[in-house]
Chains A and B, each alone.
Chain A
Amino acid sequence: MKMDTESTPGTQSTGSTRGGSPSLFSSAVRVFDISVGEMLWSRRTIFMALVVGGPVVIALAVRAALFLTGRVGRVDGVAMTGQAMFGMMIWFFYLRFTVPVLGVFYGTALIADEVEDKTLTYLFTRPVRRGAVLLGKYLAYFAVTSLVVLPSVMIVWLLIAPIGGTGLAVSFIPLLKDLALLAIGLGAYGALFAFIGAKFKRPLLTGLIFVFGWEQAALMIPGYLKKFTIAYYVQALVPHAMPQEGVMSLIQGLFRDTPSLPVSLLCLAIIWFGFLWLAARTVERKEYVLEQ
């Protein structure tokens, strides 16, 4: 597959907004309707099932261990409460892994998969704007990942939160915050990687380097570099204490400065909608040449 980066500003493919053609939103809804099933029942679903199923299996194992031994898990000889365990799972499984990884795998594939499968031409020959194709596919990504990740978090919460004296009532508000920040994270990472997928060659590699290279390194370096990551703003919204496990976590914790809630939300909104707009603009303007 070869993607030519030659751009022809202002040019529109067949099906751009013209008199009588559907609006951007209705076109996006139509693309969403088609894409959601394709995305859900693709090979990536197995990967997604493993990623979000892991924490559920661990939560079930913790429950089983509690049922059999009657004791909760211990860290340094101290019994852990369900709330603390749930907080750790949110940090380790969802925030640091699931959200960015799903963002990379699905976000970069929105356009790149169509290019690779040589089906982009068929999409672009439809009487819809190119941007609507990207927007519809992005909405499908957001719906699919949210409807897989958030129920997984919910099941883990129901299994873990009541352990060790912390009832559901106490951890309910933090759960709402968790669900909201995970949804925001999926949205922001998805938008960024949708842009990367539309713009760059080898978007998956670029995305993985961003998530596991740049973000991790920038968070460890004192100074302003961390402001050029998404994790910096998402982590500021987490209602649980940052776990200090491992050297990287310790260093990140050491140099951690937390932006205020309004700043985090504003920056995430800018990243989210900014990159989504950029991605749609790139798709509208870029000429994709499919390798024969």
Chain B
Amino acid sequence: MTKRTRYFMAGAATVLALGLCTGLVAYYGGLPALSASRTGPDELSYVPADAAVVAYADIQTVMNSQFRQKLREAIPMKENERNEFEEKTGIDVERDIQYIIAAMSPDAANGGSRVVLARGTFNQGRLEALAREHGGQIQEYRGARILSRMVAKATEESTEPRVRRHGGKHPALAFVDTGLVAIGDEAGLKKAIDAHHTGQSISGNEEMMRLVGDIEAGSNAWAVGRFDALRNHEKLPAQVHNQLSAVKWFAATGHVNGGVSGSLRAEARDDAAAENLRDVVRGLLALAKLQGGSDPRAAALVQSLQLGGTGKTVILSFAVPAEVVDLIAKSARHHTEMERGEAPEPPEPPRPPMPPVPDR
């Protein structure tokens, strides 16, 4: 064997060995950058691989949008509650939270688990002190600090309904990374941390990542998932349940600024099921157009609805222009004033009639 042949064979074997080593290291979670998602936010690496629904919201953009400002003017928030929350936690939702990711896993045995990941600025010390105040326990898990059982030692009467609301699980909070907290039940949080460390996250779920990858750039809120998870979880009327049984996947996206635009995409079981679904939506749209004809706000909203999609895909898109948002905000403001018992401004009194001019 010549030297040239030996070099070639050694080079080829080295490429093979290096690739295998890289794969092996990534497989055992040693290369999070290669193990994790390149589509969607990096925090998806904390979402367990079996999650049925994943949602994202860019809180900063939504909070600073004109849409939000208009709504805030129309429906003023309860400032006291907001200030109290900020005082206790040190978190100003509008300023400190950049974006959140929520995921739902269909854990049949335990009624499902939910995890919310929030990226932002958090005062860890203050939150830990608050947790201790409420009898919370702090534990370390794979480098993350988990604050759990925060309501267990509070007055039983007040905590019972809250615990029941979480499916019998105590809410917990984990500082999983710098500027990243996860909220959910303790088991769910540990599962999320495991997903990140082992690389067995939603990033490896081909179907889900296909949906995430397909989300239009610029959407500041979206949700994707398996439709059966929603059907089984939410108590839908039997008729609606049957109609939607053909839908396998869904993806909802939204863009909020002066107005609101977005789309809802559903992937049906087959072409025939998608065509049926399109027919149903078409019928509903026609009905909505008939109903909303007299109301300019509803008419504008209905006119913006567009049905599309081919094959197994059904897409319903909408765009609510800023003018319609203005109308809705104005209407909401009026409604709020009425609820508060503030009488609307009286109409201007009619001008007194001019005195008759005597005939000459």
Contact = CB atoms under 8 A, between A and B. Distances in A.
Contact of B210 (A78, A143, A150): A78
B23 A163 contact: no
B167 interface: no
B35 interface: yes
A37 B35 contact: no
A148 B210 CA distance: 32
Interface stretch (B10-18, B85-93, B287-295): B10-18
Given A37-B2, A41-B5, A175-B23, A165 B15 contact: no
A81 B199 contact: no
Nearest to A84: B206
B20 interface: yes
Contact of B204 (A80, A147, A163, A170): A170
B1 interface: yes
Interface stretch (B37-45, B109-117, B231-239, B348-356): B37-45
A76 interface: yes
Nearest to B198: A169
Contact of B38 (A76, A80, A164, A173): A164
Contacts of A113: none
A290 interface: no
B168 interface: no
A162 B34 contact: yes
A37 B3 CA distance: 10
A175 B21 CA distance: 12
Interface in B59-103: none
Contacts, number: 119
Nearest to B23: A172
Contact of A162 (B1, B38, B217): B38
A258 interface: no
A239 B203 CA distance: 19
Given A40-B8, A41-B4, A169-B199, A151 B206 contact: no
Nearest to B45: A167
Contacts of A167: 26, 34-38, 199, 203-204
B129 interface: no
A33 interface: yes
Interface residues on A, range: 35 or more
* A77, A83, A165 pick with most chain B CB within 10 angstroms: A165
B15 A155 contact: yes
Nearest to B202: A165
A168 interface: yes
Q: Determine the main DSSP class of B at the interface with A.
A: helix
A166 interface: yes
Contact of A166 (B5, B12, B203): B203
Interface in B231-263: none
B295 to A, nearest CB: 35
Nearest to B31: A168
B213 A165 contact: yes
B213 A37 contact: no
A165 B38 contact: yes
Contacts of B29: 169
B19 interface: yes
A168 B2 contact: no
Contacts of A175: 23
A162 B213 CA distance: 13
A36 interface: yes
Contact of B19 (A72, A154, A163, A165): A154
A261 interface: no
Given A165-B212, A168-B31, A76 B37 contact: no
A158 interface: yes
Contacts of B212: 165
Contacts of B34: 162, 167-169
A154 B213 contact: no
Nearest to A144: B9
A1 interface: no
Nearest to A175: B23
A37 B19 CA distance: 25
A157 B212 CA distance: 22
Contact of B213 (A79, A148, A172): A79
Nearest to B207: A81
A40 B313 CA distance: 50
Given A147-B12, A167-B203, A168-B35, A79 B23 contact: no
B79 to A, nearest CB: 41
Given A79-B213, A165-B37, 17 more contacts: A37-B5, A70-B217, A79-B210, A81-B210, A147-B16, A150-B12, A151-B15, A158-B22, A162-B34, A165-B39, A165-B213, A166-B209, A167-B203, A169-B23, A169-B200, A169-B204, A172-B26
Listed from nearest, the 10 A-B pairs whose CB atoms lie closest are A165-B209, A170-B204, A154-B19, A165-B39, A169-B199, A79-B213, A168-B26, A147-B12, A169-B35, A151-B15
Interface of A: 33, 36-37, 40-41, 70-72, 76-81, 83-84, 143, 147-148, 150-151, 154-155, 157-158, 162-170, 172-173, 175-176
18 contacts: A33-B1, A37-B1, A37-B4, A40-B8, A72-B213, A81-B39, A81-B210, A162-B38, A164-B210, A165-B38, A165-B210, A168-B26, A169-B23, A169-B27, A169-B28, A169-B204, A170-B199, A172-B26
Interface of B: 1-2, 4-5, 8-9, 12-13, 15-16, 19-20, 22-24, 26-29, 31, 34-40, 44, 199-200, 203-204, 206, 209-210, 212-214, 217, 311, 313
